[in-house]
Amino acid sequence: MDIRVDNLQNPLVVALLGAHLVDMAEHSPPESVHALDLEALKAPNVTFWTAWQADVLLGCGALQETSLSEGEIKSMRTSPKHLRKGVAANILERLIEEARKRNYSCVNLETGSADAFKAARLLYERYGFEYCEPFNNYTKDSHSLFMQLTL
């Protein structure tokens, strides 16, 4: 699996991110969808990675710098044909590794509270993320759960 920084130009990546936004909208009301769109993922404080096997897109994930000491995991998505193959775990490991290189004290994330997000929550728990109060500009929301990994 080749995990690399991506420039968000490949049509396969654009399609995966489009499907990600549609899926988020299907499982949460609009005010509770915090996924970044394509343009927001191009912001200078966001680094976006994709995972590939030859020319097959396996998944993606991003790390948004929210301060000099903290980051936020964004846009974690595995291509449907590659679920349960360790793609998300490998991407998450890469994001955590990068956060450590940047000397962040912690990494935060927001995920959904619906059953559709259960696999994601279990993955984050397995990597040591703990539930926490809303961070940055988030507010309490019955459709969102907040997690933090202290580094």
For residue range 8-61, list pLDDT tens digits in order: 999 999 999 999 988 878 888 878 888 899 999 999 999 999 999 999 999 999
Over residues 58-107, the pLDDT tens digits come to: 999 999 999 999 999 999 999 999 999 999 999 999 999 999 999 999 99
User: The tokens of 39 are what?
Assistant: 């343009």
What is the CATH code for 2-150? 3.40.630.30
Q: How many CB atoms lie within 10 A of CB 59?
A: 25
